[in-house]
Amino acid sequence: MRTWLLSGCLALLLLAQQAAAQTLLVVGDSISAGLGLDTSQGWVSLLEQRLKAQGTSYKVVNASISGDTSAGGLARLPALLSGEKPQVVVIELGGNDGLRGLPLLQMQQNLTAMVSASQQAGAKVLLLGMRLPPNYGERYNQAFSQVFQHVAEVNKVALVPFFLDGVGGVANMMQPDGIHPAAVAQPRLLDNMWPQLKPML
């Protein structure tokens, strides 16, 4: 009887440890790194607070770097997957590719490779799409947005078509540079991605 109880306790302890080991990895650029904000104000920190408030076991790892491109994210991803072993990966990259006028085909290939690597590591993936300012031209803007749609459809992953919906281009929602969301906009960013993320948890 004692052996059976001990085995049962060890099994429950193992299950508890596995549940506690859930990790959500965010790989992004300045939008997710919270450039110009206190780290506690960014949408990733707000996400961590919401997950804790809802009693989930997820640890949030923010591996976002200001100025990063899809190529930079792809280069960093293998070590992150190996080290963090995430169950969910949120990819918020591509904005800097577009702002710098980098080849969209390369951006598409980079994002596809990131999604594939995450899936092969056993993680669910959420892709956060972006749009560019109107001055980049309708043709380039449309092609840019379609990259996210294509990657999501081909790889069958969840997509938020425009992560900055209700924020981008709205004066009081943006910092003075007109590119980075202000602190007041961070809850809106979280709400924009939450409906797609929640079913994955």
Q: Any idea which residues carry the catalytic annotation?
A: 30, 177, 180
Per DSSP, 176 falls in state: T
Count, residues in the chain: 201
54 vs 133: CA distance, rounded Å? 36
Q: Are 200 and 124 in contact (CB under 8 A)?
A: yes
With 0-12 CB in 10 A as exposed, 13-18 as middle and 19+ as buried, what is 112? middle
Crossing angle of helices 104-120 and 70-84, in 10° steps, is 10
**Residue 191 DSSP SS3:** helix
